[in-house]
Amino acid sequence: MRKISVTTKFGQYTVSVGSGILDSLSKRIPALAGNPRKLVFLLTSPEIWALWGERVQASLFPREPIVLFLPPGERHKRMSQVERLTTEMSKAGGDRSSLLIAFGGGVTGDVGGFVSAIYMRGIDYVQVPTTLLSQVDSSVGGKTGVNLQTGKNLVGCFYPPQAVVADIGLLHTLPQRELRAGIYESIKAGLIRDAGLFRFIESHREAIDRGDPAPLEKMVAASIRIKAEVVCLDEREMGVRMLLNFGHTLGHAIEAASGYRALLHGEAIAWGMIAALDISRRRKMVTEGDTRRIEALIRHFQPPPFPAVSSKRLLQAASGDKKNRAGVRRFVLLQGLGKAVVAEDVTDAEVLAAIAYIRRLSESSK
Amino acid sequence: MRKISVTTKFGQYTVSVGSGILDSLSKRIPALAGNPRKLVFLLTSPEIWALWGERVQASLFPREPIVLFLPPGERHKRMSQVERLTTEMSKAGGDRSSLLIAFGGGVTGDVGGFVSAIYMRGIDYVQVPTTLLSQVDSSVGGKTGVNLQTGKNLVGCFYPPQAVVADIGLLHTLPQRELRAGIYESIKAGLIRDAGLFRFIESHREAIDRGDPAPLEKMVAASIRIKAEVVCLDEREMGVRMLLNFGHTLGHAIEAASGYRALLHGEAIAWGMIAALDISRRRKMVTEGDTRRIEALIRHFQPPPFPAVSSKRLLQAASGDKKNRAGVRRFVLLQGLGKAVVAEDVTDAEVLAAIAYIRRLSESSK
């Protein structure tokens, strides 16, 4: 079991990573010490609860959480669900001292965090991510929120959890496509800040792809450590946190332009990373050798074919991304393995060339 | 013109109070210095905009704010409006550098602040309160939020504005009932922390009731100064900020039990204060003389008759108020003029006796 400390200006919390730590949930939640009258809400999806509910309940015993359900899928990450959930909490007698446990993937975590951030102007919450993607990415960093009809994550709060408990054992039941979607984000973490993590994934790619717990735990912990470092340096995404968006400018554009249906978030990021890498290579910021090596590792995990959307729409979507301030389009580019920089001068021509490149790549792998 | 500085852990901002300062709005908003491409959203109600829109536009010229409307009334302080407004902002191209000006009463300020707190996880905003109640109370302190079907202000954020501009000139057009609703909150500020403010209102009660700008400005500034002090001491309402809730435990109960229709917020607080005063007097925390004097000043401004709700329902509503932690009912009581304390041991019998007392008082003034 590994522990990673995250420090933000709103306080400090611990991320625990290990196999089977779900069974000791209670003692990993500081808010559960003391006050036995505290109400505990648990937000999850019916599918996840069917698989793990009994073990979670046993772990929290003798407390009985009030279970709130959020249907799975990005389309339920909306204000109407936030209103329904907070109303249910209010009806159940939730007050400012109540605790919420978000037990599920990224959607559950983002909605659970947002509900906690705004219910009675903020209650304690804990993230218990059940997918690889949410373990390595969204559960750490305090970003919470929901989508609007006009785009993803357009409303939300920065609101850190009181603790994050990432049990590698939960990943057994994950479909391989979802496992891989998380691996891409770990590769990203390595690429922007930790060449050692990149090399670790590279040399253990078969075992990781099989879901072997030992290398997975090491990969998850290393990825979270990078995210935690970046978040500590820059709580409000003004500078260095932006680097976490490597692959995301085009990745988000791919998701938006294809109506969030064709690819999982991590898969869109995989293509976005290859595109950003292509721009970096053409700018001679990354060697041809490193480019091939990085591309090979991403493609080892077989991102599904690039969706059928026009380059024009992609370019448009990339310019409307919220990572842009007052009209400037920001791209994160690589400067060799383990180092990234923000560029504001990437031209439409460069973006279009990169889109054409990943399109050809996707065609060739069919 | 008076300036009051408010310091919170999220930063510092200035409240300007004066007559006619609406005409110099631009230079009172730090975010408007520099970046000429910044989008400015202005949230208001159609009625307020019809009265003051031209002057506000002239004051912001050459910038042209994108005007967003919120229908007046507490029933529009809901998540559905927040979703509509943020979607409109997104469609208009609002990004993280955009600014929102909340121009209106308490509902506009609370919704505008909440929208700003969560739009793209937080943008700058400015409060320009147009009612006395919002000038002396809700515009300062960073509390933002909306109602749920189950109760008022059950979701929201602590999110301080970048500036507050309180123009006394805006109060000319306010109906007397709304003016008085604000006066009660100023009396409250004096009662809990500033006997001098209480005496000032007492000795200028006729002029204040007529809406004379000079005493109003002094009263507004003194009230804001108290609120600012309390907020600086205690950003998250853990201790001293609770004192601002003098009259609110029962006040909120009256509002809730009468479906928010019978009385304005300030009027419910007026009755709530007389009730809390009655409990304080019976506990011999306030002298008979001070009690009569305080009661006389509140009643000078003629709160409308107490609504027809049963004492049982009121007691129930008072126990479900969100000022209570894990089932404890908190009452703010007076300890003489200018000093308040929090009591957790107020019994149902004391609350019922106080309700009976204000009911008799209301009957006698018919």
User: What's the pLDDT at B191?
Assistant: 98
Q: What is the DSSP letter of B18?
A: E
The strand pair at A143-148 and A2-8 is best described as: unpaired
Lowest model confidence (mean pLDDT) among B204-208, B229-233, B262-266, B313-317: B229-233
B128, B103 Cβ separation under 8 angstroms:
yes
Q: Which tokens in the block code for residue A137?
A: 């990415």
**In the block, residue with structure tokens 């009030």:** A66
Q: pLDDT tens across B158-196, in order?
A: 999 999 999 999 999 999 999 999 999 999 999 999 999
Using CA atoms, how far apart are residues B223 and B4, in angstroms rounded to an integer? 11
Cα–Cα distance, A19 to B134 (Å, whole number): 53
At residue A144, the 3 state secondary structure works out as strand
N-terminal to C-terminal alpha carbon distance within chain A: 40
Contacts of residue A303, Cβ cutoff 8 Å, sequence gap at least 6: A180, A184, A263, A267, A270, A271
Query: How does DSSP assign A171-200, residue by residue?
Result: GGGS-HHHHHHHHHHHHHHHHHH-HHHHHH
pLDDT at B325: 47
What is the model's pLDDT at position B238?
A: 62
The catalytic residue among B77, B225, B252, B329 is B252
Provide the pLDDT for residue A232.
Answer: 82
Task: Say what the pLDDT of residue B235 is.
Answer: 57
Active site (annotated) includes residue B225? no
* pTM, two decimal places: 0.91
Please indicate whether, in this complex, the C-beta atoms of B326 and A90 are within 8 angstroms of each other.
Answer: no
The predicted pLDDT at position B69 comes to 98
pLDDT of amino acid A321: 52
Task: Say how far residue B282 (Cα) sits from the centre of its chain.
Answer: 29
**How far is C-alpha B314 from the geometric centre of its chain's CA atoms?**
22
In angstroms, rounded to a whole number, what is the distance separating the alpha carbons of residues B40 and B197?
A: 37
Q: How far is B204 from chain A (nearest CA, A)?
A: 37
Q: Structure tokens of B225?
A: 């100064």
Helix (H) or strand (E) holding A56: helix A46-60
Establish whether A202 is a catalytic residue.
no
pLDDT category at B355 given cuts 50, 70, 90 is: very high
Running DSSP on this structure, what letter comes out for residue B301?
T
Using a CB–CB cut-off of 8 Å, the residues of A that contact B are: 35, 37-38, 78-80, 82-83, 86-87, 90-91, 95-97, 117-122, 143, 145, 148-151, 154-158, 322, 324-327
pLDDT > 50? residue B12: yes
Chain A residues near residue B38 by CB distance under 8 angstroms: 326
pLDDT by residue, tens only, chain A of 366 residues:
999 999 877 778 999 999 999 999 998 998 888 777 789 999 999 999 999 999 999 999 989 999 999 998 889 999 999 999 999 999 999 999 999 999 999 999 999 999 999 999 999 999 999 999 999 988 888 899 999 999 889 999 999 999 999 999 999 999 999 999 999 999 999 999 999 999 999 999 999 999 999 999 999 999 999 999 988 887 555 678 889 999 999 999 999 898 878 899 999 999 999 999 999 999 999 999 999 999 999 999 999 999 989 999 999 888 865 444 455 788 999 999 999 999 999 999 999 999 999 999 999 876
Residue B245 annotated as catalytic:
yes
- Residue B45 pLDDT more than 50? yes
Nearest to B86 among A80, A118, A154 (CB): A154
State the complex-level ipTM: 0.89
How does residue B40 score in pLDDT terms, banded at 50, 70 and 90?
very high
Residues contacting residue B175 through CB under 8 Å, at least 6 positions apart: none
What's the DSSP call for residue A310? -
Neighboring chain B residues of A80 at a CB cutoff of 8 Å: 79, 83
Are the beta carbons of B52 and B265 closer than 8 angstroms? no
Q: Considering the candidates A252, A281, A329, A359, report the single residue annotated as catalytic.
A: A252
